[in-house]
């Protein structure tokens, strides 16, 4: 399934029910001009727009309307090429291993350094996506 992003713009969906954390994520991620960032307050509203095919979904595990792992499974079932980054306060090694088995791209524990690290993870991931686009075109 193709992503519906323009040549130089990448759609990123963020599910964050905490307004303050959502605003901080937006400030961090919109520093880059070619990102179309959409923030959702819950999993259901994001899933309703999943047909827009974001290249990246950033999700918490504790959501007001569903379990984060269920959201991840639905995203992966819809399009396994969508990269999923989990940002959560959960530190369980077993949980992180389960999420990795589900195919997430990265797991970040919420902390003061998390936003800085997330910015770098997104930068690196977009470089990988751009490279894959070039390889496919050639």
Domains along the chain?
10-137 (3.40.50.2300)
Give the C-alpha separation, 16 to 75, whole Å: 16
- For all residues of the chain together, what is the average pLDDT? 88
Instruction: Find out whether 57 and 46 touch, Cβ atoms under 8 Å.
Output: yes
Task: With a cut of 70, say whether residue 86 has pLDDT above it.
Answer: yes
**pLDDT tens figures, 48-61:** 999 999 999 999 99
> What pTM was computed for the model?
0.84
Residue 107 pLDDT: 94
**pLDDT tens figures, 97-132:** 999 999 999 999 887 778 788 888 998 999 998 888
Residue 19 pLDDT: 87
Determine what percent of the chain is predicted with pLDDT higher than 70: 93
Task: With a cut of 60, say whether residue 1 has pLDDT above it.
Answer: no
Coil, helix or strand at residue 39: strand
Give the C-alpha separation, 102 to 116, whole Å: 25
């Amino acid at each position: 399934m193709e992503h519906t992003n323009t040549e130089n713009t990448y759609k990123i969906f963020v599910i964050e029910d905490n307004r303050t954390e959502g605003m901080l994520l937006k400030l961090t991620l919109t520093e880059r001009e070619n990102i179309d960032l959409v923030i959702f307050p819950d999993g259901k509203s994001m899933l309703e727009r999943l047909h827009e095919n974001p290249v990246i979904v950033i999700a918490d595990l504790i959501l007001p309307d569903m379990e984060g792992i269920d959201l991840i499974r639905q995203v992966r079932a819809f399009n396994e090429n969508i990269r999923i980054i989990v940002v959560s306060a959960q530190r369980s090694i077993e949980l992180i291993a389960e999420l990795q088995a589900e195919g997430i791209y990265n797991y970040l524990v919420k902390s003061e350094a998390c936003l800085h690290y997330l910015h770098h993870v997104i930068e690196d991931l977009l470089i990988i996506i751009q490279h894959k686009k070039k390889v496919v075109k050639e």
